[in-house]
Structure formats: C-alpha cells, structure tokens
Amino acid sequence: MTSHATTPRALGFRMPAEWERHEATWLSWPRADGISFPERYDVVPGLWSAMAAALSHGEAVHVNVTDAAQEASVRGALAAAPDARLERVVLHRIPTDEPWCRDHGPTFVVRNGELALVDWRYNAWGGKYPPWDRDDRVPEQIAALLGVRRFEPGIVMEGGSFDVNGRGTVLTTESCLLNPNRNPGLDRGAIETYLRDYLGVAAVVWLGEGIVGDDTDGHVDDLTRFVGPRAVVTMVEPDPADENHRLLADNVRRLQAARDQDGRPLEIVELPMPGPVVWDGQRLPASYANFYVGNDVVLMPTFAHPNDAAALAILARCFPGRRIAGIDATALVWGLGAFHCATQQQPAVGPA
C-alpha cells in the first residue's frame, strides 16, 4: 500500500467532475476476436467511430489499438465517419483485451496545473472474463506516454464503479465495491479510505444494488450520476412488476438521506428506465445513466423506446450549452456496456 503521505489527496490532487474541461477523451477500440460482442461485432466499429467523431469537435480523442492491422482498420473506419475531425484523433499502440476504457483505463487527477493518474488493479469485474493482463497494463502505458506521475493503490477498482462531483463527494455501490471478488480483505471503512485518499474526496455516498443484467456487480454509472456539484440524476422504474423497481427505489431513498461534503442534501432528478432490452433471452443492462459528458456534447444511449425522448430532454436541462446526442446503443449494450463504459476523460490542466 502507498503510504498516506504520498496519496493524491495528501499531495493536493483531486479527481475533477466529468463536466469540467477535458484535454481529451480516451477510447480502446474493440477487437473482432474479443468476447464483448459475440455475433454482433459488425455494427460495433461504427459506434466507436460515432463516439470519436462527435467528441472530436470539442476535444482530442486518444484511441488505443492493438497492432498495425487494427490501426489500419480503425483509420479506415474513422475516415468514413461523417464530420470527424481526424486531425484531433490520435491512435496509440496500446493493446487491450476488451474495449471498456472506463474500467481498465486510468483515473486522472489534477492539482494546480499538474496532471497525474491513478493506476488501479484490474481483474475483469471480479475475475469473470480472462484474460485481462493487457487491460491491466493500460494505465501504466498511458502514464509513460504522457510523462505523468502514476499512483498505485494496489487494490482492484473500475472507473465505472464510482462517480464524483469534483468538490469532494463520490457515489458508489455496496454490491460492487464490497463484493469479495474484488478486494476480499477490505471492509467498508478500508474501501472508503482508499476512495478518499486516491480521488481526493471527503464524503462517500453508498447506494445498494445495480440494475438487472449488469455483470459488473452493480456499477454506479448505470444507476446515478452527478450532473452538478449537488445535483444527481438517478434511474427509476415505476412499474412494480419490473425487476428493477425495488432496487432503484431503494437507491432513491439512500440518495434522499445522503449529504455532500459540506453536509448538504443532494438535488435529485429522476430518469426513467427504457424498459427491458432483451437479446437472445438475456436481459441487458440498458440505462440512460450510462451517458458521457464531453466538452461540448453529451453522448446518451437510446434504445428505440418511448422514454428516449424524455431522457434526452432531462439531460438537456442538466447540461445547458452542450448538445445532447442520442445514439442507438441497442447493439452496444449487448456487450453489457454503453458510452460511459467505453470512455475515460483526461481533464485539462491549463487555461480553458
């Protein structure tokens, strides 16, 4: 374990909120022989191209690729993407096992114009999907590429399992962070200490369970997200017959009782669920909360459901001045993730 005196928090670093200014967004391009998209890979490159194209208008986009062959394929896919700012998309030979950069990528932290990163250990959501050794090495390679300080907590943690307001509060879930398949020797208090020390936060808000179909054991980025220093959007399911109804109602109750780093209650905005999305008999973790906030655009997953329009309108009110881009993510969620799972923000450290 890194000593307390050398943790990011002790040295004055913090993890900025996602809506704070980015220098870039990082993506890991999916491999055709990966396990994330069985029988549906053909539509996947177009989704990664759409993400890169939309984000490239407001920030640089860094893309991890495995080798020369994949690099050539990715360049071809990006060249075919409408409106992509190709001069702002940079490819790096950083091989990965699967494409979920939120979870295997670094967590960036900042202080007084300095960028650093946290390199958590990664074990593919509790050892579910070997191999994961290439994914686990991604933060180390990005740190070397950027020439920035790298903090190593020595514990397993995925980026989708927490969400911060950039002011000192973090959201997370018991079902994920207290699961013995991650860090069996750590209790709630120890996990809270790591979150405070490595994200630069003071308050930890614990939610309960994740949505049905989520193989991550309940990542918070499918449930509840900060959209302002005190405001959160949280998923709700009004149908009592739906499997998600009870667990989402419990999370709302927890949010109502929660307080931020200054002891103030949270402002809660409810987002409707898109209803069951089922493929090959399997209910998938479809959620509008898995959006990603870029500098000038918010990428929101849609699912050809009547609630798509309501969710787009809610996020438009939460992020005035940003374009809300709804992109059909039905094929993407077959890989059990969406836009937030696929992205990782690198915050800006200089003038806006």
Q: Which of 101, 176, 318, 341 is catalytic?
A: 341
- CA torsion 316→302→62→229, rounded to 10°? 40
Cβ contact 154:121 at 8 Å: yes
Contacts 24+ apart (CB under 8 A), 245-251: 247/208, 247/209, 247/210, 247/211, 248/211, 248/223, 248/273, 250/208, 250/209, 251/207, 251/208, 251/209, 251/223, 251/224
Tokens encoding 205: 């808000």
Half-sphere exposure of 164 (CA within 13 A, CB side): 22
CB-based contacts of 87: which residues, under 8 Å, 6+ apart? none
Element (H, E) at 209: none
What separation in angstroms does the CA of 233 have from each of 17, 108, 236? 14, 23, 10
Alpha-helical segments (H) within 239-294: 244-257
Q: Is 341 marked active-site?
A: yes
Q: How far, in Å, CA of 252 to CA of 231, rounded?
A: 13
Identify the bridge partners of residue 343 per DSSP, sorted by sequence position.
Answer: 27
CA 138 to chain centre: 15
Cβ contact 155:120 at 8 Å: yes
Cβ contact 105:133 at 8 Å: no
Give the number of other CB atoms < 10 A from CB of residue 238.
Answer: 11
Residue 224 dihedral angles phi and psi, to the nearest 5°: -145, 135
Active-site annotation, residues? 341
